[in-house]
Structure 1
Amino acid sequence: MNVFDRTINFDALLKFSQISRSTQQHLKNVYASLAVCMLVAAAGSYIFIITRLFPVTGWLTMLGSLAMMGWLAMTPHSPQTEKKRLGILAAFAFFTGLGLGPLMDYVISVNPSIILTAFLGTSVIFACFTLSALYAKRRSYLFLGGTLMSGLTVLLLVSVFNMFFASEILFKAHVYLGLAIMCGFVLFDTQLIIEKAEMGDKDYIWHCVDLFLDFVTIFRKLVIILSMNEKEKKKEKK
């Protein structure tokens, strides 16, 4: 038989027999909301770069994001509040995008192509780890929870320590370790969302927040890494 005569069964490829149909529909809602969040966040960053209406966004956007997240958490999930919660989710994504604005502005001054490269890289990483979580045995990555939280604690300690010593080596270690930890969170959060959905928790809006934060953090880390590499290349050329 000619190998080129074989056809790929995409239905079988996309079939997750270990996940119930209701949970699969729930995941579709989660990822659809995630796509909208990324578009809104991109709009927020673009508005910052174009208008410069928010010269000091750091604390303001962080407070705005935290306020929206708190409001979303306090608003119960129900058909009656669905549109309201989607609006809050969009506002949260917008503030997050504004918060990325200063970093995007800086990266444009270094090399604008870094933004597209980082986004494509983040998309590939996110897709690969998501598929790994979906196709893996259920609950097989939930054991990572404790390790990942310990990793976040280490990152926090390194960050505080480096505030006093300003070590470039520690900064790079923090960025690369943070990237690895966030990749682990994609695995963990995806399987945790599946288990919550299987147990009846169909709050796709809140579940979207978890994955959105994972995506944004990975994107931020990749942007920083690519910017550092670009600056080092420029120094070598000089």
Structure 2
Amino acid sequence: MDSFFGARSSSSAGGSWSYESLKNFRQISPVVQNHLKLVYLTLCCALAASAFGAYLHILMNIGGFLTTIACVVCMVLLLNSPVYYQRKRFGLLMAAALFEGASVGPLIEIVLDFDPSILVTGFVGTSLAFLCFSGAAIVARRREFLYLGGLLSSGLSILFWLHFATSMFGHSVATFNVEIYFGLLLFLGYMVFDTQQIIERAHLGDLDYVKHALTLFTDFAAVLVRILVIMMRNAERAEEKKRKKRS
């Protein structure tokens, strides 16, 4: 963060930030910068594969429990494959992303039937959030956000046990809201934490761009699903209010 604000203060006499401050990556070596390019390029490919998986569900109705299991299996195989089999691991990542898209396909199909603009707005909003939070982690001082790991892990544990309890004893509006909004906040935090953790691991020699892209892909997908659910609920409430006013 110091390097960011240092560039900010020296870039203009008036003290306002400039475009040069956003290009300040002095704390990131060229090797790590190249690694980040590979990570984000692989992430874009995974998002494209996921979109294709959702499209396949809309055409053939393939999304469901089996695609979710297939996605998990592909992720496990990827994480347990040797790093030097990068082509195989890249293929497993694309397969996992495709199955993930098919699994989210039913939600996307509902959104498209209700209002296609929600999907576009949700994806753009998620992309902007990802760029902002990931960018903040990149320009921040090294290890500055790594302390969030413990807090986020505790929050994820709370979310898991809450989901387990609601599946056993039934859902309510309050618990559903907690799962959606708290989960959204949690995975936004993971965008920052995972990005800085990837940078730190790359500095230590871990240049596994496929695994790192998988990490960011899961964060992106988790945020997108929650944003779509929130926007759908808000749109339904607005529609109900309009109907009440008309009647």
Normalized against structure 1, the TM-score is what?
0.91
| 235 and 144 in structure 1: CA distance in 2 versus 1, 3 angstrom threshold | same
What does the per-residue CA deviation read over 1:62-99, in whole Å, with 9 as the maximum and x for residues that have no partner?
A: 11111111111121112xx2222211111111111111
What does the per-residue CA deviation read over 1:118-149, in whole Å, with 9 as the maximum and x for residues that have no partner?
A: 00000010000011100111001000011001
Structure 1 segment 146-161 matched on structure 2, within 5 A: 146-161=150-165
Secondary structure at 1:133 match in 2: helix
Secondary structure at 2:142 match in 1: coil
* Structure 1 residue 161 displacement after superposition: 2.7
Secondary structure at 2:196 match in 1: helix
Q: Which residue of 2 aligns with 1:140?
A: 144
Structure 1 segment 206-221 matched on structure 2, within 5 A: 206-221=211-226
* Structure 1 residue 158 displacement after superposition: 2.0
Q: Which residue of 1 aligns with 2:30?
A: 21
Question: What letter matches 1:90 in structure 2?
Answer: M
Q: What are the ranges of 5 or more consecutive residues in structure 2 without an aligned counterpart?
A: 1-11
Task: State the number of aligned residues.
Answer: 227
- Is residue 114 from structure 1 mapped to residue 123 from structure 2 by the alignment? no
RMSD of aligned residue pairs (Cα, Å)? 1.6
* Structure 1 residue 28 displacement after superposition: 0.3
Q: Which of 37, 43, 49 is the matching residue for 1:40?
A: 49
Secondary structure at 2:100 match in 1: helix
Q: Which residue of 2 aligns with 1:196?
A: 201
* Structure 1 residue 218 displacement after superposition: 0.4
CA distance in 1, matches of 2:177, 2:80: 37
CA distance in 2, matches of 1:168, 1:221: 15
Q: Which residue of 1 aligns with 2:81?
A: 75
CA distance in 2, matches of 1:43, 1:146: 35
Question: What letter matches 1:191 in structure 2?
Answer: Q
What does the per-residue CA deviation read over 1:45-65, in whole Å, with 9 as the maximum and x for residues that have no partner?
A: 01111222x2xx322111111
Question: What letter matches 1:31 in structure 2?
Answer: Y
Q: Which residue of 2 aligns with 1:168?
A: 173
Q: Which residue of 2 aligns with 1:91?
A: 95
CA distance in 1, matches of 2:197, 2:240: 44
Structure 1 segment 226-237 matched on structure 2, within 5 A: 226-237=231-242
What does the per-residue CA deviation read over 1:139-176, in whole Å, with 9 as the maximum and x for residues that have no partner?
A: 01000011001111111222223332421122012101
Q: What are the ranges of 5 or more consecutive residues in structure 1 without an aligned counterpart?
A: none
Q: Which residue of 2 aligns with 1:101?
A: 105
CA distance in 1, matches of 2:69, 2:60: 21
What does the per-residue CA deviation read over 1:191-210, in whole Å, with 9 as the maximum and x for residues that have no partner?
A: 11011100000100000000
Identity of aligned residues (%): 37
| 67 and 165 in structure 1: CA distance in 2 versus 1, 3 angstrom threshold | closer
Q: Which residue of 1 aligns with 2:68?
A: 62
Question: What letter matches 2:235 in structure 1?
Answer: E
Q: Which residue of 1 aligns with 2:4?
A: none
CA distance in 2, matches of 1:231, 1:159: 24
Secondary structure at 2:82 match in 1: coil
